[in-house]
């Protein structure tokens, strides 16, 4: 399990770096396009490129954000519960989350294949859209692995609490 943890952490760090790069590229393209419009020379396809990079940013941020607990959560009531009950609730919600995102990742792979077979491309740049969907699917698959890693950690905490 330690090897899987290291692999997931490495991929999470790589995705985070790729997301940061995509966000930087979004900013640069937007600035260059606005400046280009001022001089009557906008960047062709800039809206599509920014949209593609936005998908990459969102997809790349998911595993790391989940790992560090960066998502919004309401804990007003659960903070008052005993530790074991909180861990059981965490286990339940993480399991549901794993099921949901595993199904979404799987369906994104199916959708990417369908888009490839249909030959769908973006409107202006004619970029094959299945690549964008595939990036999202791969990221969601790693996100599911991160959720599984958190489930294993929660189960280990529950075991320590009952044996220790």
Q: pLDDT tens, 131-164?
A: 999 999 999 999 999 999 999 999 999 998 765 5
In angstroms, the CA 164 to CA 161 distance is: 5
Q: Indicate if the pLDDT at residue 23 is higher than 90.
A: yes
Q: What is the structure's pLDDT at 135?
A: 92
pLDDT digits (tens, 9 = 90+) for 40-93: 999 999 999 999 999 999 999 998 888 888 777 777 888 888 989 999 999 999
Provide the residue range defining the domain that includes 73.
Answer: 2-163
Q: Is 20 helix (H, G, I), strand (E, B) or coil?
A: helix
Q: What is the structure's pLDDT at 1?
A: 66
Q: How many domains does the chain have?
A: 1
Q: What is the structure's pLDDT at 43?
A: 93
- CB atoms closer than 10 angstroms to residue 59: 23
In angstroms, the CA 29 to CA 49 distance is: 8
The per-residue DSSP string of 78-130 comes to: GGGS-HHHHHHHHHHHHHHHHHHHHHHHHHHHHHHHHHHHHT-B-TTT--BTH
């Amino acid at each position: 399990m330690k090897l899987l943890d290291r692999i997931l952490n490495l991929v999470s760090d790589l995705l985070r770096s790729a997301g940061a790069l995509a966000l930087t590229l979004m900013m640069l393209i937007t600035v260059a396009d606005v400046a280009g419009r001022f001089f009557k020379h906008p960047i062709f396809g800039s809206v599509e490129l920014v949209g593609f990079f936005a998908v990459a940013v969102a997809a790349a941020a998911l595993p790391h954000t989940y790992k560090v607990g960066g998502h919004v959560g309401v804990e007003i009531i659960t903070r008052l519960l005993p530790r074991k009950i909180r861990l059981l609730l965490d286990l339940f919600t993480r399991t549901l989350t794993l099921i949901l995102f595993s199904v979404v990742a799987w369906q994104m792979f199916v959708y990417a294949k369908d888009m490839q077979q249909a030959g769908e491309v973006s409107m202006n740049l004619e970029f094959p859209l299945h690549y964008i969907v595939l990036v999202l699917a791969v990221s969601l698959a790693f996100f599911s692995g991160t959720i599984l890693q958190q489930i294993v950690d929660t189960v280990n905490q529950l075991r320590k609490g009952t044996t220790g």
